[in-house]
Structure 1
Amino acid sequence: MMKKIALALAIVVIAIAGAAYYFASNLDSIVKAVIERYGSEATQASVTLKSVKLSPTAGSGELSTLTVKNPKGYSSADAIMLGDIKLSLDLSTVQSNVIVVKDVTILQPAVLYEYAGIGGNLEAIQKNVQSYAAKFSGGKTEPNKSAGDPGQSASKQPEKKVIIENLVIRDGKVSVTHQALQGRTLSVPLPTIQLKDIGKDKGGATPAEVAEKVIGAISAQASRVATAELQKQAGDLLKNQAGGLLGGATGGSTGGAAGGTSGGTTDKLKGLLGK
């Protein structure tokens, strides 16, 4: 009897070791699948990730080419493409419910600001992510999670939260498309974005809340520089048009022409930017 029990225990140990090896050796692919699934759900657009390289023992990792497609109502182009994402973890927190990420660096993001009749694509993505994050406020887990899914935990288990001490997004660019540009695309640098202590004030943020924070920061900054560039281009165009009109005006009619042109210019600018 004792021999049978020992044999059974040995089989269990081997099975556990085999399962641990499987998950360790397939960690990169599991993380990739989770990011693509929940990223697509949060943005309501297709999210893909080219590769994941994690080093659990070193507490570091690198993600390559994370792409977010445009949502419905816009072109089939990529709205956001993050080149390389490098991160480092506090290894002492990996087994806890709140994982501390010491540093995240996102290099060479390419952002497309596309304005359509229904508004800007980045604002649409941001609203989708905000709506998704709101479902998990208070640390609630997703209602349909099941233990049978390798990428999910049982509904009774507390959701893992994250604190990101330092996040930097740099060396990016913003491309701007608008019907008023008549097929042209403007390109402007994306200013460096730095976020500190994400989730720290509330004892950790859910992955959905982190996505909202990061995509929100990218969207806000990209929208800001894109709108400024559109205003500059529109201002130059309308200024030239106004100069032509004023050049043909004479005497007392100049004041009236200027006043009329100024009002028309403002109206056209508002229409250009969808204001």
Structure 2
Amino acid sequence: MNKFVKIASITAVALAILIVAGFIFVYSSLDSIVKAAVESIASDMTQTEVTLNDVEISPTTGQGSLRGFTMSNPDGFKSNEAFQFDEISVKIDIKSLTDDVIIINEVRINAPHITYEVGPQKSNIDTINENTQSHGKSSETTASNEDAPKFIVEHLYLNDGEISVAAAPLGDKTIDVDLPNIHLKDIGKGDQGASPAVILQAAFGAVTKNITGALGSVDLDGLAKGVTDGVKGVADGVVSGASGVTSTVGDAASGATDGIKGAADGAGNALKGLLGD
């Protein structure tokens, strides 16, 4: 065997070792990679502080969970958190991790708690949604999103959520309302994958829309006026019918999948320049 053949053989073996080592690194670091990505991207887009306590994803099955998700409020609001999820379960197509587009079979957010704080001009949720939807308008951010990994989220569920309405006129009390279930399908599928930014925009847009629908029985304008006027104490009759009544809007998103999917697709197309979730 001449020296050139030996060198070629050694080079091939070295490359094979590097490739195997790369796969081992990616799979063994999957939990920390996901945790860092979620906290960094979500915090940047929403202009809040997003933290995760723990991420555990099986490198063989692709099933896992994200525990202890917390999103703080934007500046100017008094409540500690806007969103809290005890657990988010995920299913990832492990084979797609080496492809150009990574397929997430399912994201399931169970029993989220959302604090809707009424401000004099707009709520904390409206502020976060505006921050999220406006993200990526600069050319620098657009280029960054274009270079980001692409994903397809086949199913995203948000079930059994609760909204607590907080406002100065209510004092330390809140008005609790059920959040209609949400089911988004095939985010990024029609656009050959979506960046994490576009996925978050589509998801947050749908969540905000359902929150608005669920709070139709709450006199938000009256609460906002109370905040502006500096009204103190508990407001009586804020909810139509009786204070503390639970909304019966129902499973709006799951019952009208096409409508919600259309809204998500519309958000994805309109923000194509940026998560195709």
TM over 0.5: yes
* Cα offsets for 1:133-184 (capped at 9, x unmatched): 44589x94428xxxxxxxxxxx9xx432122122111011110012232432
Partner of residue 254, structure 2: none
Give distance in 1, aligned partners of 2:29 and 2:86: 23
Letter matched to residue 238 of structure 2: Q
Secondary structure in 1 matching 2:74:
coil
Q: Distance in 1 between matches of 2:179 and 2:64?
A: 24
Which of 159, 168, 172 aligns to 1:170? It is 159
Task: Give how far 1:71 is off.
Answer: 0.5
Q: Which of 141, 144, 153 in structure 2 is aligned with 1:142?
A: 144
Name the % identity: 32
Three-state SS of the structure 1 residue aligned to 2:69 is strand
* Alignment size in residue pairs: 224
1:161 corresponds to: 150
CA distance in 1, matches of 2:53, 2:151: 23
The amino acid across from 2:30 in the alignment is: L
User: Which position in structure 2 is the counterpart of 1:112?
Assistant: 115
Specify the alignment match of 2:91 in structure 1: 88
Question: Match for 1:60: what amino acid?
Answer: Q
Please, which of 176, 180, 190 is the counterpart of residue 201 of structure 1?
190
**Cα distance per residue 1:78-106 (max 9 Å; x no partner):** 10112211122334433222222222211
Unpaired segments ≥5 residues, structure 2? 221-236, 243-277
In structure 1, the partner of 2:72 is: 69
Contact 2:79–2:115, Cα closer than 8 Å, also in 1: no
| Contact 2:179/2:210 (8 A) holds in 1 | yes
Q: TM-score, normalised by structure 2?
A: 0.69
Q: Which residue of 1 aligns with 2:102?
A: 99
Residue 125 of structure 1 is aligned with which of 128, 143, 146? 128
Task: Name the amino acid aligned to 1:206.
Answer: S
TM-score for both structures, normalised by structure 1: 0.70
CA contact (8 A) 1:133 1:209 kept: no
Distance of aligned partners of 1:162 and 1:173 in 2 relative to their CA distance in 1, 3 Å threshold: same
Which residue number in structure 2 is paired with residue 229 of structure 1?
218
Give 1:119 deviation, angstroms: 1.0
Q: How much does 1:199 deviate?
A: 1.7
Q: CA RMSD in A?
A: 3.2
Partner Cα separation in structure 1 for residue 176 and residue 138 of structure 2: 36
> Partners in 1 of 2:198 and 2:124 — Cα distance?
20
1:55 corresponds to 2:58: yes
RCO (CA 8 Å, sep 6+): is it higher in 1 or 2?
A: 2
Say if 1:113 and 1:223, in contact at 8 Å, map to a contact too.
no
Give 1:210's aligned residue.
Answer: 199
Query: Structure 2 vs 1, CA of residues 94 and 14 (structure 1 numbering), >3 Å: closer, same or farther?
Result: closer
Q: Quickly say closer, same or farther: Cα 1:99–1:19, change in 2 above 3 A.
A: closer
Matches for 1:169-188 after TM superposition, within 5 Å: 169-188=158-177
1:204 is aligned with what amino acid?
Answer: G
Higher mean C-alpha displacement, 224-233 vs 185-194: 224-233
CA contact (8 A) 2:112 2:162 kept: yes
Deviation beyond 4 Å, 4+ runs, structure 1: 4-20, 133-137, 234-237
